Amino acid sequence: MTTADEVFQKIKSDNFLHEIFSQNTNWESMLDARDSSEFDTLWSAAYKIIQEDGRPETLKAKEAREISFKRIFQLTGNSELAGYASDDLGLVIDALEKKLDIDFINKLWGIYTSGGFPH
């Protein structure tokens, strides 16, 4: 099982985010796909489970969101993309740190580790 520390170290590494976000991709169409009701419902449900845990977002999750936002924005110049991706990655770490096993979040992380952007 992946740990929050392993995810955090990947995010901090020089090449993980670069490999995903330096691709010549139509980010706008991918962002539009994320706005579909299906994706949004699944993402929101996962977020709600984490919020219902009652514990605040972990420091590591906050730091991961900040690092990933800055790097993705630097690579793409797209603040919306950087915001969505950094929220995803913070959610992954927060769930792991709180020992919450959420299928959607596991799939989200799987897409990132395969070099993709969830949409």
The per-residue pLDDT for range 41-61, each reduced to its tens digit, is: 999 999 999 999 888 988 999
Number of domains in the chain: 1
Contacts of 27 (CB under 8 A, 6+ apart): 76, 78, 81, 117
- The answer to whether residue 29 is domain-embedded is no
- The answer to whether residue 65 is domain-embedded is yes
Q: What is the structure's pLDDT at 85?
A: 97
- The answer to whether residue 77 is domain-embedded is yes
pLDDT over 90, % of the chain: 84
pLDDT exceeds cutoff 80 at 1: no
State which residues form the domain around 103: 1-20+53-114
pLDDT exceeds cutoff 90 at 35: no
- The answer to whether residue 119 is domain-embedded is no
- The answer to whether residue 47 is domain-embedded is no
pTM of this structure? 0.93
